[in-house]
């Protein structure tokens, strides 16, 4: 916790001549800290970003909690430090608190269920300006500018990426899930599998830079908590609060990018016209509407965009936007607790599918399909969905990532397996560059 002599920091604006170079300098500068969070928009504009990238470094006070009373502890921590920036993560297994569930699978990374910190320094890159919130903003600006504007590439041998679930077993598990759906246990379930590399030494910053070059996405993140790293290229927003309105942008629907313009456009249109993709998407949108109705004024929840088609370097995605007006006096932590975990990574009905996820998946999700983001001094927040992300435990030399998809009765197990590989492709390619 900040002591009695903790000084309130002001924000100073500095001129940036080369924004791309300054971004790389920010990344290099951040690597000296044991705790930091770098959020990167990669020049996307459709998600209405408040900044191009946002960096928080240093620990002027923090909270780390395990599911049980984690949200209560977070609310108390937030109330004790009003007007502060907060950065951190929400692990998937906070479901054990919100839905009285449990988790027993292996977790090779070991992120805590919840961690938030008050940064000593916040740097926002906005156009040709750097907004620096720190006790010595000028000193921070100079220190960043003195860093290199290039990230050295890692020279490591190509690695063998292993699957936690073999293809034959995966297909058999999908058949079992389809049987649950046929019996009426659920309508749709997001099922995931882990890919991993053991005894692997790597510079996480180089890995993040390589992933960003290959697969830039609007909710990318480079996040460190001591020896644990999240190297993320997420395209998905979980939840954003701006003023009295709250927004969620669930993704459900994936199509591979093609080499030719005509073929690429055809892939996107096939996804748009697919009844299977649209039925899966509608189920998730309805689930998000239901979640937001718990925290929004009656009659204010609306679908701003349905079946939006967006293109990313590796895939086309179907994205919708759902919003509503938050109930008066509701704490920001309550907004998270009422809607977490996000419907796009669970399914419907939410509690039952999370029980099935625990029954059939082989790895504890941990930070995967959780959220990373920030709360600003005004109480507004923005959190991503932690997907298309690699996790690295430096002491264990263990690297892991998970991918999955929505399973319905009409799912083809072979195609679902191929979709997992498609979503993993950019990460596998980076590891074998």
Q: Which residue has the tokens 């890995």?
A: 207
Least Cα distance to 392 among 225, 128, 204, 181 occurs for 204
d(CA 420, CA 193): 8
Q: What is the 3-state secondary structure (H, E, C) of 87-107?
A: EEEECHHHHHHHCCCCCCCEC
d(CA 58, CA 81): 16
DSSP per-residue codes, 183-248: HTS-SEEEEEEEEEESS----HHHHHHHHHHHS--TEEEEEEETTEEEEEEE--EEEEEETTEEEE
Least Cα distance to 380 among 220, 225, 247 occurs for 247
Count CB atoms within 10 A of the CB of residue 274: 15
Q: Is 104 exposed, middle or buried (0-12, 13-18, 19+ CB in 10 A)?
A: exposed
Q: Which residue has the tokens 């939840």?
A: 239
DSSP 8-class letter at 68: T
Predicted confidence at residue 154, as pLDDT, reads 82
Predicted confidence at residue 50, as pLDDT, reads 76
Kindly list the distances between the CA atom of residue 144 and the CA atoms of 17, 130, 290, in Å, as whole numbers in the listed order.
Answer: 13, 11, 45
d(CA 89, CA 107): 17
Which 3 state secondary structure label does DSSP give 109?
coil
Q: State the pTM of this model.
A: 0.95
User: What interhelical angle do 261-273 and 275-293 show, nearest 10?
Assistant: 60
DSSP 8-class letter at 363: B
d(CA 284, CA 291): 10
Q: What is the 3-state secondary structure (H, E, C) of 272-316?
A: HHCHHHHHHHHHHHHHHHHHHHCCECCCCCEEEEEEEEEECCCEE
Predicted confidence at residue 5, as pLDDT, reads 41
d(CA 347, CA 290): 13
Domain 10-152+161-431 has CATH 3.60.120.10: yes
Beta pairing, strands 371-375 & 347-348: unpaired
DSSP 8-class letter at 333: H
Q: Which residue has the tokens 């074998």?
A: 432
What tens-digit pLDDT sequence spans the chain (433 residues)? 343 344 557 999 999 999 999 999 999 999 999 999 999 999 887 666 778 999 999 999 999 999 999 999 999 999 999 999 999 999 999 999 999 999 999 999 999 999 999 999 999 999 899 999 999 999 999 999 999 999 998 877 778 999 999 999 999 999 999 999 999 999 999 999 999 999 999 999 999 999 999 999 999 999 999 999 999 999 999 999 999 999 999 999 889 899 888 899 999 999 999 988 898 899 999 999 999 999 999 999 999 999 999 999 889 999 999 999 999 999 999 999 999 999 999 999 999 999 999 999 999 999 999 999 999 999 999 999 999 999 999 999 999 999 999 999 989 999 999 999 999 999 999 998 7
d(CA 13, CA 129): 6
Strands, E, within 326-375: which ranges? 347-348, 371-375
Least Cα distance to 411 among 340, 347, 316 occurs for 347
Segments making up each domain of the chain, as ranges: 10-152+161-431
For residue 316, report the phi and psi dihedrals to the nearest 5 degrees: -95, 145
d(CA 281, CA 289): 12
User: What interhelical angle do 413-431 and 204-214 show, nearest 10?
Assistant: 120
Q: 347's torsion region: left (phi>0), alpha (psi -120 to 50) or beta?
A: left
Q: Is 294 exposed, middle or buried (0-12, 13-18, 19+ CB in 10 A)?
A: middle
Least Cα distance to 333 among 386, 371, 372, 379 occurs for 379
């Amino acid at each position: 916790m900040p002591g009695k002599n903790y000084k309130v920091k002001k924000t100073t604006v500095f001129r940036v001549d080369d924004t791309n170079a300054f971004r790389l300098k920010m990344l290099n500068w951040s690597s000296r800290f044991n705790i930091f969070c770098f959020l990167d928009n990669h020049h996307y504009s459709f998600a209405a970003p408040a900044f191009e990238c946002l960096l928080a470094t240093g620990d002027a006070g923090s909270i780390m909690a395990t599911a049980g009373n984690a949200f209560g502890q977070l609310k108390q921590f937030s109330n004790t430090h009003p007007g502060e920036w907060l950065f951190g993560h929400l692990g998937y297994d906070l479901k054990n608190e919100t839905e009285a569930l449990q988790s027993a699978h292996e977790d090779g990374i070991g992120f805590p269920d919840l961690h938030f910190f008050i940064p000593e320094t916040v740097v926002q890159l906005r156009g040709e300006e750097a907004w620096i919130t720190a006790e010595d903003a000028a000193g921070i600006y100079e220190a960043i500018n003195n860093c290199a504007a290039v990230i050295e590439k890692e020279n490591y041998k190509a690695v063998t990426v292993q699957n936690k679930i073999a293809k034959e077993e995966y297909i058999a598990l999908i058949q079992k899930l389809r049987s649950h759906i046929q019996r009426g246990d659920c309508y749709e379930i997001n099922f995931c599998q882990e890919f991993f590399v053991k005894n692997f030494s790597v510079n996480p910053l180089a890995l993040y830079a390589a992933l960003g070059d290959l697969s830039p996405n609007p909710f990318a993140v480079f996040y460190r908590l001591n020896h644990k790293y999240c190297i993320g290229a997420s395209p998905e927003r979980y939840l954003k609060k701006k003023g009295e309105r709250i927004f969620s942008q669930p993704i459900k629907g994936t199509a591979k990018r093609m080499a030719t313009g005509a073929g690429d456009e055809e892939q996107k249109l096939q996804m748009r016209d697919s009844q299977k993709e649209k039925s899966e998407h509608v189920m998730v949108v309805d689930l998000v509407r239901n979640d937001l109705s718990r925290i929004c004024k009656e009659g204010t929840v609306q679908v701003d965009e349905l079946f939006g088609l967006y293109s990313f370097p590796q895939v086309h995605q179907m994205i919708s936007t759902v919003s509503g007006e938050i109930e008066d006096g509701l704490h920001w932590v309550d907004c998270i607790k009422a809607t977490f975990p996000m419907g796009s990574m669970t399914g419907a009905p939410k509690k039952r599918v999370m029980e099935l996820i625990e029954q059939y998946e082989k790895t504890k999700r941990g930070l995967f399909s959780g959220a990373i983001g920030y709360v600003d001094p005004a109480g507004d927040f923005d959190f991503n969905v932690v997907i298309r992300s690699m996790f690295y435990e430096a002491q264990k030399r263990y690297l892991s990532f998970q991918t999955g998809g929505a399973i319905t009765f009409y799912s083809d197990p072979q195609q679902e397996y191929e979709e997992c590989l498609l979503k993993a492709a950019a990460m596998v390619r980076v590891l074998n560059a």
